[in-house]
Amino acid sequence: MTGSDVSPSFRLVYVPGVMPDKWVRIWNERQPDVPLALTQVAAGAVAERLLDGDADAGLVRLPVDRTVFSAIPLYTEQTVVVVPKDHLVTAVDEVSPEDLADDIVLHPLDDVLDWESLPGRPAVERPATTADAIELVAAGIGVLVVPLSLARLHHRKDLTHRPLKDAPESSVALAWPQDTTTDQVEDFIGIVRGRTVNSTRGRKQPDESAATDRGGARRKPVPGKSAAGRSAGAKRSGKSGRGAPKGGDRRGKPRRRS
């Protein structure tokens, strides 16, 4: 797909926990004629949606297949452990994996953290989803380690969370298929990277000399109206800039002949 083959809308998918509100707002301000279609999908379904052409770009969790996708890392999230409010670890500001040695640490099938060795004791079965695991934590069956955004997404009044040090972290990125980098994708890249609307990076900006007065181009000086033009005109006419006669053309009484 070339830069000119654009769809009537920009289709963006995003994974649970990612909040694209700020970028969506900026897009709507800069591209009022191009609607942004926003869809939340499971982390494991993003790649398929992008490769099938169901979306132009996605806010995903790394890693992604870099042989297929281009990706721009945006930020890395803090990892936390979600526990009941009466859990012992709520007495501290930060938790270590060793503090969870006696706990059942739930490991949902949609976990987005790349564990080498999960802390604590394993559950008999893995919950299908993070939402299911949250319900088990509330029931006092175990604890759950997730990125901070997912802890906030599944917030409950009877649960709380604490930072977990020495744990894997999840990074969020903007990704899109390498062979479908459209102008709209380039525009959204500029937004997530914080570029201004007049930035010269990213999409090629229109030639200033081709812009019209209505579009904000500089107006050409009208001949004879500029300061330089007035000065040159004054010199050619033999008049000073103040308009007073200079030399010749004196007026007064004629001299009497002797």
More confident residue, 77 or 239: 77
Predicted local confidence at residue 239, as pLDDT = 46
Predicted local confidence at residue 203, as pLDDT = 55
pLDDT single digits (tens) 104-126: 999 999 999 999 999 999 999 99
Average pLDDT in the 205-231 region? 46
Average pLDDT in the 21-29 region? 96
Predicted local confidence at residue 223, as pLDDT = 52
Question: Residue 109, SS3?
Answer: coil
Distance of CA 65 to the CA centre of its chain: 21
CA 231, CA 240: separation in Å to the nearest integer?
A: 8
| pLDDT band of 255, cuts 50, 70, 90 | low
Give the amino acid at 191: I
CA 239, CA 256: separation in Å to the nearest integer?
A: 29
Per DSSP bridges, beta strands 36-40 and 79-84 are unpaired
- Is 50 exceeded by the pLDDT of residue 206? no
Predicted local confidence at residue 208, as pLDDT = 42
Cα separation values, 128 from 43, 162, 190, Å: 13, 23, 37
Average pLDDT in the 33-59 region? 95
More confident residue, 6 or 50: 50
pLDDT single digits (tens) 141-172: 999 999 999 999 999 999 999 999 999 999 99
**Cβ atoms of 127 and 141 closer than 8 Å:** no
Return the structure tokens found at 42.
């499971």
Average pLDDT in the 58-62 region? 96
Average pLDDT in the 58-80 region? 96
Distance of CA 106 to the CA centre of its chain: 32
